[in-house]
């Protein structure tokens, strides 16, 4: 049973435009959310996080939005750059465990 879902396996965006990656979850007890970025043949690396008591967290070009009532998390990248092309995983924490989504492959077209 997938508690964290990323329904879009892939996304293509023109360089300079906004990339929006989405994540839905089912467990209302998740208290912390993260986004990871993964390049081919490498492990995921931490990108940005948000606590369940907040609805927005910003770090440079990256902003994460949390809508608890909709159980929805999104990552905005503005402006998108070719180096952002990677697979993005969302993750949610409950207790001692993080639950990961299936990933969205972002391609930023120069």
Count the site residues for another protein by CB under 8 A. Answer: 26
Nearest approach, Cβ of residue 79 and another protein (Å):
25
Q: Which residues contact 110 (CB under 8 A, 6 or more apart)?
A: 15, 82
DSSP 78: S
Pairing of strands 19-25, 4-5: antiparallel
Nearest approach, Cβ of residue 32 and another protein (Å):
6
- Select the residue interacting with another protein from 12, 46, 54, 109 (CB under 8 A): 46
Tokens of 57: 């967290």
Residues of this chain that bind another protein (CB under 8 A)? 2, 4, 6, 9, 32, 34, 36, 41-46, 49, 51, 89, 91, 93, 96-103
């Amino acid at each position: 049973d997938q508690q964290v879902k990323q329904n879009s396996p892939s996304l293509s965006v023109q360089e300079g435009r906004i990339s929006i990656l989405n994540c839905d979850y089912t467990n209302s007890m998740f208290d912390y959310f993260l986004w990871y970025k993964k390049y081919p043949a490498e492990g995921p690396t931490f990108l940005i996080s948000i606590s369940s008591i907040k609805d927005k967290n910003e770090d440079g070009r990256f902003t994460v939005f949390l809508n608890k009532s909709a159980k929805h998390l999104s990552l905005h990248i503005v402006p998108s750059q070719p180096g952002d092309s990677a697979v993005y995983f969302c993750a949610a924490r409950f207790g001692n465990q993080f639950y990961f989504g299936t990933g969205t492959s972002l391609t930023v077209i120069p």
